[in-house]
Amino acid sequence: MDNQSRRWVIVAVSLVVLALCASTIAVLNVFLIREPQSAEETAVSPETSPPDGLLIIYVAPGSPAEKAGLQWGSFITAVNDTPVLEVADLTNRLQEIGAGGTVTLTMLVNGRFQTTTVTLNSEPPLLGVQVVGAGGIASSASPQPPVTNRPWAQIRAVQPDTPASAAGLAEGDIVTAVDGQVVLDTAELVAVIEGKQTGTAVALTIRRGTETLTLNATLTTHPDDPNKPYLGVILDE
């Protein structure tokens, strides 16, 4: 092979190598410059991996939280991009911002993260929610409470012809407050009711599915103890 032929062979090989390099770079770009993940890929499954944050178990009617659309069963995971892991974290962040201030809450709602802007009250309560730590909660996305480790007072049954039945309480309702006083579990609800007098009218804030309702009941005398008031419900323990 003469020198001229050798030069043409070298040029041809060089062109092939360059073409292969260009193809490799193109392939690498396909993998490196990846499309953003879909919503399904970024969705969180709280049932299998409870998030770090605070579970909302009560939203006060007319509060900044309610006006901003915060809902029972959602998680607050950060305030102004600062993570909140304990109830004290949320309290401290809100106090630092102060009455009338504006906060951006990072929320986990139905398994997806979103941000919500809230203008705080001019006086306490600044936000108007009751929260508990996320650890130990079996489920957070469902509008109904988990079966175990629940920090709330849920009605298992309503006795007929009682103040509860007259007020419209139903099986599965979760009582979150009595006369505006938050109750976190069965023991607190029983204590609040037993602290009332027979004949007292009470306003019960309940969670029914995705709705928050206020039902009014007038306590009567307990059929087994004349010294105790009676509502007429059986509660989950």
Just give the CATH number of 153-235.
2.30.42.10
Query: In 3-state terms, what secondary structure has residue 148?
Result: coil
Cα dihedral 207→193→236→222 (10° resolution)? -130
Residues 6+ apart with CB under 8 A from 138: 47, 146, 147, 148, 149, 150
For the chain, domain boundaries: 1-34, 54-133, 153-235
Q: Determine the pLDDT at residue 74.
A: 84
| Residue 96: other Cβ atoms inside 10 A | 12
| Residue 46: other Cβ atoms inside 10 A | 22
Radius of gyration of the chain (CA): 29
Residues 6+ apart with CB under 8 A from 200: 218, 219, 229
Q: Determine the pLDDT at residue 232.
A: 95
Q: Determine the pLDDT at residue 217.
A: 96
Q: What is the pTM of this model?
A: 0.47
Q: What is the mean pLDDT of each run of 10 residues along the chain (237 residues)?
A: 53 48 36 32 43 78 88 88 88 90 90 91 83 47 38 86 96 86 83 94 86 91 93 89
Residue pair 235/186 in contact (Cβ under 8 Å)? The answer is yes
CA dist., res. 205 & res. 139, Å (int): 22
Q: Determine the pLDDT at residue 154.
A: 87
Q: Determine the pLDDT at residue 157.
A: 94
Domains 54-133 and 153-235 share a fold: yes
Cα dihedral 223→228→229→230 (10° resolution)? -40
The owner of tokens 């003469």 is: 2
Question: Would you list the DSSP string of 48-71?
Answer: TSPPSSEEEEEE-TTSHHHHTT--
Cα dihedral 46→51→54→55 (10° resolution)? 0
85 burial via Cβ count (<10 Å: 0-12, 13-18, 19+): middle
Q: Determine the pLDDT at residue 38.
A: 34
54-133: what CATH class? mainly beta
